[in-house]
Amino acid sequence: MKLSFRTVFWGSAALIVIVLLVLAFRPRPVPVDMGEVMSGPMSVTVSDEGRTRIRDVYAVAAPVGGRLLRVAAEAGDAVAAGDVVARLLPSEPAFLDARTEAEARAAVDLAEAGLAASRADAESTAATLELARSEHARIRALFDSGIASQAQLDRVASELRAARAADNRARASVNMRQAEVEAARVRLLGPDGAPGGNGSVLDIRAPVGGVVLRVLQESETPLAPGAVVMEIGDPADLEVVAEFLSTEAVQVEAGAAARITDWGAGDDPLPARVRRVEPYGFLKVSALGVEEQRVNVILDFDAPADSWRRLGHGYRIEAAITVWETGEAVQVPVAALFREDGSWAVYRVEDGRARLTPVEIGHDNGETAEVLSGIEPGRRIILYPGAGLSDGVRVELRDPE
């Protein structure tokens, strides 16, 4: 049977259209990023911001109240134990208000009046004593001549002793009144009349040798007892305190290895070791206003002092502490993981298609996760799986742009 040209032409055209429609509506491979399941060493660390501090900081304080003379020492100066680092003068009297001044002047007048009365009593007792002495001398002479009796001599002797005691009492009263007058006059002294001099200067000495960390009171000023003038410490005795979330601090143990990073001198981290995890947590508000329960973790440098000698007291650092590590572990990038029916899963690439693969995950360090079961090393997996992926979908490697 011979086909006409028209039949062949339209048949071919229809076939071409069908092929084009099939190609147009055929599902295209989904472009994806791919990674690989690896096997090798793995560690998990927790990291947070911290600061350096000198282990023992000594606060040099005023032992008594007084007027501090200007401090010559500056931050960074080396001092030896016993060096004079500050000097203190006695406090100056305060200014008197009108009422207090009037009361003080009245007290002076009262004391002066009492002094005058005591002096008058002293004059009276002195006269009585003089009379008693004359009477005693006269009776003594008569007694020696046999005219006066023993009773008369004993009486005048007793009167002489009484007069002498009254005179001593009157003199003591005069001295007491004079002291009261001086005390009342001192209460009238203002700042301009304050006593003082080199003989009343108190030297404040450094309790230990080290370096002046900071001077809290430099200028001349009145000080209360116990006011801190400066702080002294040894920069070679440096430690690190990092504030970790309590949920991270429970994973840290004393003796764990750590690294000090972002400390400002190149990219080389400084090795360190955890000395103590403090048992007391505290509440801290983050920069975003979130209340967080924090715990101080204390670390010691595990490197020669020359490598961190440029660090000082209160410098900012980043501390990374190793909480788990192993020499061999099957690992998958965290970017490949997603939740499927309450469990972890990945998409492995097999014959150009995505295959849903449930996996069991162990430790996670934020970049890779430990695979306990479900997939073997060397398998290609899909990174950042999107909602358009499903089991059996054809995939291709995304072209880098």
Q: What is the mean pLDDT of residues 115-133?
A: 86
99-113: per-residue pLDDT in tens? 877 888 888 888 888
Q: pLDDT at position 27, please?
A: 63
Q: What is the mean pLDDT of residues 206-217?
A: 92
Stronger pLDDT, 121 or 51, i.e. the higher one: 51
Q: pLDDT at position 193, please?
A: 54
Q: pLDDT at position 267, please?
A: 65
Q: pLDDT at position 101, please?
A: 76
Q: What is the mean pLDDT of residues 59-66?
A: 90
Q: pLDDT at position 195, please?
A: 47
| pLDDT at 196 exceeding the cut of 50 | no
Q: pLDDT at position 266, please?
A: 65
Q: pLDDT at position 135, please?
A: 84
Q: What is the mean pLDDT of residues 48-64?
A: 93
Q: What is the mean pLDDT of residues 139-143?
A: 81
| pLDDT at 1 exceeding the cut of 60 | no
Token code pair at residue 105: 């002047």
Q: pLDDT at position 26, please?
A: 57
Q: pLDDT at position 341, please?
A: 87
Q: pLDDT at position 14, please?
A: 72
| pLDDT at 166 exceeding the cut of 50 | yes
Minimum mean pLDDT among 9-23, 178-192, 206-220, 306-320: which range?
9-23
Q: pLDDT at position 107, please?
A: 83
Binned at pLDDT 50, 70 and 90, residue 238 comes out as: very high
Q: Mean pLDDT over all residues of the chain?
A: 86
Q: Is 236 exposed, middle or buried (0-12, 13-18, 19+ CB in 10 A)?
A: exposed
290-310: per-residue pLDDT in tens? 999 999 999 999 988 888 888
| pLDDT at 23 exceeding the cut of 70 | no
pLDDT > 70: percent of the chain:
92
